[in-house]
A and B are shown apart, each in its own frame.
Chain A
Amino acid sequence: MQYNIVFTVKFVAVFGAFLCSFGDALYEDQIGKFDWKKELLGRVEHAVFDSSVSLNKHGFVTTEKGAIACINMRTGEVKWRRILPESDRQITYLAHVRDGLVVVSTKGMARLWDSASGILKWEVDLSVAAENRESFTVIHAATLERSYSEKTLLVILSKTGLHTIAISLTKRKPEIQSVLLNQELTDGDHDKIFVDSQNGKIIHLQLQSGVRLEVTVYDADNLSSPKQVTISTSWLDSLAMTALLEDDTLLYVSNDVGAIHLVDLENGNTQATVPLLRLGIKDPVTMMSSNEEEDVAVHGSDVILSHGEGQMSLIKITGSTVKLMQTKIIPEVSDVVFKQKGTEVYAYFASQINNVVSIVTVNVKTGKYNNDLTINVTLPPHTGTLEKVYVNMFLKRNTPVGFRALLQTTDETVFLVTQPNRIAWQRQEAIASVVHATMLDLPLSDVDAGIEAEFEESGKTKLMEMFFKRVSAQGSQLISWFNKILRDLKEDTLFTHKTRDPLIQVEGLTRDPFSLHKMIVLVTKSGVLFGMDSLTGEIVWRYFLSQLKGRQLHFFVQRTTAHYPHPPQALLLGLDSSQSQPPIVLAVNPITGVVIDLSADFINLESPVIQAMPFPVPDNHHLRPLIMLDADLNIHLVPDTSDIRAILGELNLFMYDVNVSNGLIRGFSLSEKNSAQLIWSMHLPNTHKIIKFSGKPALEKVDSMGRPLADRSVIYKYLNPNVIAILSESFDDAVDRSSLLLYVIDAVTGAVIHSAIHKKASGPVHMVHSENWLIYSYWNAKARRNEIASFEFYEGKKQFNATVFSSFQTRPDPIVMQQAYIFSAGISCIGVSQTDKGITSRQILFGLKKGVLFGLPRRFFDPRRPLHATERHREEGLVQYMPEIPIPPELYLSYNLTVEGMERIYTAPAALESTSLVLATGLDLFFTRTQPSKMFDVLKEDFDHLLIAVVLLGMFAAALITRRMAQVKQLNKAWR
């Protein structure tokens, strides 16, 4: 208890010391005015529907990012979400049972969640029983649901054993039974488990490819004495074509023999062998579908075989007779789902032709197609193909059943489709894996653009013509203003604020005077491009190209919206990770989402592209061409014209390339038109591997060239734009021998400007490199804490060349200042605020692993912070050195929200110098804005207009009165 008090006191003391020097925190009423958060889940791997009879329908999904979520099936909103630990986020099994939601992770954690609130009911670590806990892997799981009074049994098959967990309604603690298998299983493909809820049996099929099939039948209540049957099946090499039917009959289809085999599990005897030809199946069977439930009791006696060109045959098995019920041609079927509710059993066929997804239904009992139970929906354009279908069937009053289906497509979108032919909602889960984001200015309104166009052609037209154009442009501006007023009057919204953000006055997707409203372009790992409205987070456009999946994606803005009438343009470069495929080059209009595929120009590229960068200067169409360098040092340009080649010859450009895999850093000169010359290269010591490198942002604006000191002299910044910082980690990760190596290199000449070593330190590192400073975080392995190193580079008290910087000039080595700080929270990414002119002081933005976006003024990382602050230091605004950086909740840009799984922070300037826009991507998407030096250029929202008016009027009145009084006094004086 005493400690708590000390802790609080310390907290308060730290706060008191720093609060005055912080930028301003948020006000509570600002929540949600300019920030928004999108809660995402990631690519869906498992989905189940609420099996209870409750009215509020929910669905549950688990994703590859380890999220377990409850989704409202009417709106698609996430009701609750839990994220599994990073060390164990792969999920093998998901089921909804009476008590709640069962989730089994691959590493053997079985958890039961309350399905309404998402609170954990119990958890069981199955790996405890295993000898080798590290390699414990769950292969399959199933639920054995018995009559309501009895316990529900969760059956789990791991590589080493079979486990059951009894889920009881009354008891808190589940009962676990485990039995070890004779031998360790290799993988999940050759094993399957089924349960028989009627007879309380667990059936384990184990296929020894090309030898035999071993069937082990366990009693669900007592695992100790299983019954084993061996079936010799020399030609069966996959369990995909097997099914376990109602009365413990194993069915398997063999294409080699061309027959359906029925085996009695009791004794292992083959009951019947029915040639496929007799059933009218000529082509090999490509897919066999049966009830997807692992429970044999609800399994029934029907299977569907798909063969040939979309032929679907429903086969009914009674005893040892096999009967063909019906064959129908459904082209392009991607998934067949069996569903049972009460006595009704239906099979759902999901197929996709172009953009139209259709789900047709067949009543398995009668073999009839049910036209009422068909959904045909047209997926929106740029959607991938159907990957998986989850069907929720429910009983209805008039028609026996109804259904809704959750569709998952290859672009990671999830749709809920309902009858009649409606997409109820969709979730774009691709946004959970953003690899690049850019914030772009919106285009001007038509009227403003008209005036811009006038300047564009000012060189060609005559004076009078220009005058008339101006008058007409301003006339149209006036008319549109009147129209707007009239419209507002009609809608009675004249003085109401129309956007959510108090500072954004302009509606729609046009630029506002402060340029706070932007278009966010997101490039995602799955190959989907999104255009997003920064005001609301709504998706404006999307584009999907399946070939982009798995490639390294790079995005370059070639022309912004500032050059009317030229449309804005960006390039998406998709490089093959294995360097065997030619690059994909897409020209994207970032505002409209119109994409032109330019890949055809690069189809004949002989060697892979190793590096790309945009021109530092635009061409005469205001476009910055992209330079690509391939492994043979040939230069490729996008677009490639002789004019641009000519500009390239004049520019004297340099490029660098850091090869992370072999530690080779190279610098090239692009002085010749067609190929680059290697001018320097450098190898890292072979004890280290590169883990991070960072240049300065291209075309960065730096406002002041130096820093005034307390003695009224100036220390000039070392503003070399060509500096790159490279951090490498030792291969040896033992605490005592690990180290981090920093090289600060001039990328043009290859000169090492500075190098440093951190002993007993390791990654992961996160770095920000800008102006004349460098900040990175690393792990202090000895003290087991995160630390932040801060470097600043100065030329000294004299400036070498104030106008142009050249790397080739011999100048004195820069003065390096450095300091390190303790940072007591895990960091997932670091960013820095960016403003229009670079006058505003910088704010370092941290994405903390605990789900917080945190911003701290850069002066906390000033390497000149003195150990003992004197008056002179205070005059310069230096804060006394304290080893630990405070992390007060006041400075959380994300306030009490949790931004889960943050990966990167992107910033963009607004036209307001005080303001920087911030976007954090990761599992969640969070957008906000920050004012590192407070909002000095706009009146605050709580500015008291009334008070100022009263004061002004009062002053005016007082001036009049005193004037009168003074006149009277002077008159009196004169009379005296």
Chain B
Amino acid sequence: MDWRLLCILYIAYFADVSFCLSKVEGKVYLPADQHLADTRVILDDGEYRGFIKVDGSFVVHNVPTGSYVLEVLSPTYLFEPIRIDVSAKGNIRARRLNNLKPSAVAQVRYPLEMKAVALAKYFQAREKFSIFDMLKNPMVLMMVLPLLVFAVLPKLVNTSDPEVRKEMEESMKMFNQNSSMPDAAEFMSNLFGSGSNKQKAVTSSKSGKSKAKRN
């Protein structure tokens, strides 16, 4: 309801066909006035342009009645785009650009004060090698955690207690009965004994892959 009303008002605002050329004024604030020469002000994607003077002020000349987007472009900083409405009488209204809801009016101060919002980040940082990063890798986690379970857990359980020992032996027996799992060391030795070269190749390709994924 609210926005529809605004829309109607808006159309009325621009329905007047009389023609008027206005100028849009503002000032660009750059941290320490760097890159002033590389900073550009464009209206309507370059159809109209403003040129920044040493003090940061700019004027976009000969802007006809209509609604435009004003952008400040800098190779270093990001600026917030502003919607500029020029009425048939030449009055200028500046508001926040809202592409999703074009009729929303959130006015900003005019003459414009354009302040850098953020530093433009164009590049990805190179990854540095660190042990912590490597540990976070799921492949490494998959390898390390079972190792911990195998190596550390038996130590935690007191094996000298005969009752516990008996219990464990029984459970191991059950386990062995179900699946004839070979001894881990035996398994390894068989593998390496039969074809250590082949195994090497497999390992190398695996580690290569994990490396690639990490990147």
Interface positions of A (Cβ within 8 A of B): 3-4, 7-8, 11, 24-29, 80, 82-88, 107, 109, 111, 117-123, 125, 127, 133-134, 782-785, 822, 824-826, 849-851, 883-884, 889-890, 892, 895-898, 939-940, 942-944, 947-948, 951-952, 955-956, 959-960, 962-963, 965-967, 969-970
> Which A residue sits closest to B116, measured CB to CB?
A4
B112 within 8 A of A: no
Known interface pairs A85-B46, A822-B99, A948-B211. Does A26 touch B124 (Cβ–Cβ under 8 Å)? yes
Complex contact B199–A26 (CB within 8 A) = no
| Contacting residue for B52 out of A119, A892, A940, CB 8 A | A119
> Which A residue sits closest to B48, measured CB to CB?
A85
Tell me which residues across on chain B come within 8 A of A111, comparing CB atoms. Answer: 51
Known interface pairs A85-B46, A107-B62, A784-B67. Does A850 touch B73 (Cβ–Cβ under 8 Å)? yes
Tell me which residues across on chain A come within 8 A of B118, comparing CB atoms. Answer: 8, 11
Complex contact A824–B99 (CB within 8 A) = yes
Tell me which residues across on chain B come within 8 A of A963, comparing CB atoms. Answer: 188-189, 192-193, 196
| Contacting residue for A119 out of B53, B71, B76, B80, CB 8 A | B53
Complex contact B122–A892 (CB within 8 A) = yes
Complex contact A965–B49 (CB within 8 A) = no
Tell me which residues across on chain B come within 8 A of A123, comparing CB atoms. Answer: 51, 59, 61
Interface positions of B (Cβ within 8 A of A): 19, 21, 23, 36-38, 40, 42, 44-49, 51-54, 59-62, 67, 71, 73, 75-76, 78, 80-81, 96-97, 99-100, 102, 106, 108, 115, 117-118, 120-127, 129, 185-186, 188-189, 192-193, 196, 199-200, 203-204, 207-208, 211-212, 215
| Contacting residue for A82 out of B51, B76, B108, CB 8 A | B51
Tell me which residues across on chain A come within 8 A of B61, comparing CB atoms. Answer: 88, 109, 123, 125
A545 to B163, CA, bound (A): 101
| Contacting residue for A86 out of B46, B121, B185, CB 8 A | B46
Using A111-B51, A826-B44 as known contacts, list a sample of 16 further A-B pairs with CB atoms less than 8 Å apart, ordered by residue number in A: A3-B80, A28-B126, A85-B42, A85-B47, A85-B48, A87-B62, A120-B52, A849-B46, A850-B45, A850-B46, A851-B73, A939-B212, A944-B129, A948-B211, A952-B200, A969-B185
Complex contact B102–A889 (CB within 8 A) = no
A851 to B73, CA, bound (A): 9
Tell me which residues across on chain B come within 8 A of A959, comparing CB atoms. Answer: 192, 196, 199-200
> Which A residue sits closest to B68, measured CB to CB?
A784
Complex contact A965–B185 (CB within 8 A) = yes
Smallest CB–CB gap between B147 and chain A, Å?
Answer: 13
Complex contact A962–B48 (CB within 8 A) = no
Complex contact A29–B126 (CB within 8 A) = yes
Complex contact B117–A7 (CB within 8 A) = yes
A824 to B98, CA, bound (A): 10
> Which B residue sits closest to A108, measured CB to CB?
B62
Smallest CB–CB gap between B131 and chain A, Å?
Answer: 12
Complex contact A966–B186 (CB within 8 A) = yes
In the A-B complex, list the 3 residue pairs whose CB atoms are closest, starting with the nearest.
A826-B45, A966-B189, A849-B45
Tell me which residues across on chain B come within 8 A of A890, comparing CB atoms. Answer: 121-124
A948 to B209, CA, bound (A): 11
Tell me which residues across on chain A come within 8 A of B53, comparing CB atoms. Answer: 119-122
Tell me which residues across on chain B come within 8 A of A940, comparing CB atoms. Answer: 215
Smallest CB–CB gap between A440 and chain B, Å?
Answer: 31
A344 to B116, CA, bound (A): 53
Known interface pairs A29-B126, A123-B61, A826-B46. Does A4 touch B117 (Cβ–Cβ under 8 Å)? yes
Complex contact B189–A850 (CB within 8 A) = no
A7 to B54, CA, bound (A): 28
Tell me which residues across on chain B come within 8 A of A11, comparing CB atoms. Answer: 117-118
Complex contact B45–A119 (CB within 8 A) = no
A892 to B120, CA, bound (A): 11
Complex contact A83–B49 (CB within 8 A) = yes
Tell me which residues across on chain B come within 8 A of A884, comparing CB atoms. Answer: 99-100
Complex contact A889–B45 (CB within 8 A) = no
Tell me which residues across on chain A come within 8 A of B121, comparing CB atoms. Answer: 889-890
> Which A residue sits closest to B20, measured CB to CB?
A133
> Which A residue sits closest to B38, measured CB to CB?
A898
> Which A residue sits closest to B74, measured CB to CB?
A896
Known interface pairs A120-B51, A942-B126, A948-B207. Does A883 touch B120 (Cβ–Cβ under 8 Å)? no
Tell me which residues across on chain B come within 8 A of A24, comparing CB atoms. Answer: 124
| Contacting residue for B208 out of A88, A785, A948, CB 8 A | A948
Smallest CB–CB gap between A107 and chain B, Å?
Answer: 7
A86 to B49, CA, bound (A): 8
| Contacting residue for B189 out of A27, A107, A956, A962, CB 8 A | A962
Known interface pairs A26-B124, A850-B71, A951-B207. Does A4 touch B115 (Cβ–Cβ under 8 Å)? yes
Tell me which residues across on chain A come within 8 A of B117, comparing CB atoms. Answer: 4, 7-8, 11
Tell me which residues across on chain B come within 8 A of A783, comparing CB atoms. Answer: 99, 102
Tell me which residues across on chain A come within 8 A of B199, comparing CB atoms. Answer: 959
| Contacting residue for B37 out of A117, A942, A970, CB 8 A | A117
Residue from B37, B76, B129, B199 with most neighbouring chain A CB atoms (10 Å): B37
Tell me which residues across on chain A come within 8 A of B19, comparing CB atoms. Answer: 134
A711 to B113, CA, bound (A): 54
Complex contact A898–B75 (CB within 8 A) = yes
A965 to B189, CA, bound (A): 9
Tell me which residues across on chain B come within 8 A of A951, comparing CB atoms. Answer: 207
Complex A-B: 20 CB contacts under 8 Å: A11-B117, A83-B46, A86-B47, A86-B48, A88-B61, A117-B37, A122-B53, A125-B61, A783-B102, A785-B102, A824-B97, A826-B44, A896-B75, A896-B76, A943-B215, A955-B200, A955-B204, A962-B188, A965-B185, A970-B186
Tell me which residues across on chain B come within 8 A of A28, comparing CB atoms. Answer: 123, 126
> Which B residue sits closest to A26, measured CB to CB?
B123
Residue from B48, B49, B97, B196 with most neighbouring chain A CB atoms (10 Å): B49
Tell me which residues across on chain B come within 8 A of A849, comparing CB atoms. Answer: 42, 45-46
Smallest CB–CB gap between B122 and chain A, Å?
Answer: 4
> Which B residue sits closest to A852, measured CB to CB?
B73
Complex contact A956–B126 (CB within 8 A) = no
Smallest CB–CB gap between B142 and chain A, Å?
Answer: 16
Tell me which residues across on chain A come within 8 A of B67, comparing CB atoms. Answer: 784
Tell me which residues across on chain A come within 8 A of B37, comparing CB atoms. Answer: 80, 117-119
Tell me which residues across on chain B come within 8 A of A26, comparing CB atoms. Answer: 122-124
Tell me which residues across on chain B come within 8 A of A826, comparing CB atoms. Answer: 44-46
Smallest CB–CB gap between B33 and chain A, Å?
Answer: 11
A134 to B97, CA, bound (A): 29
> Which B residue sits closest to A19, measured CB to CB?
B124
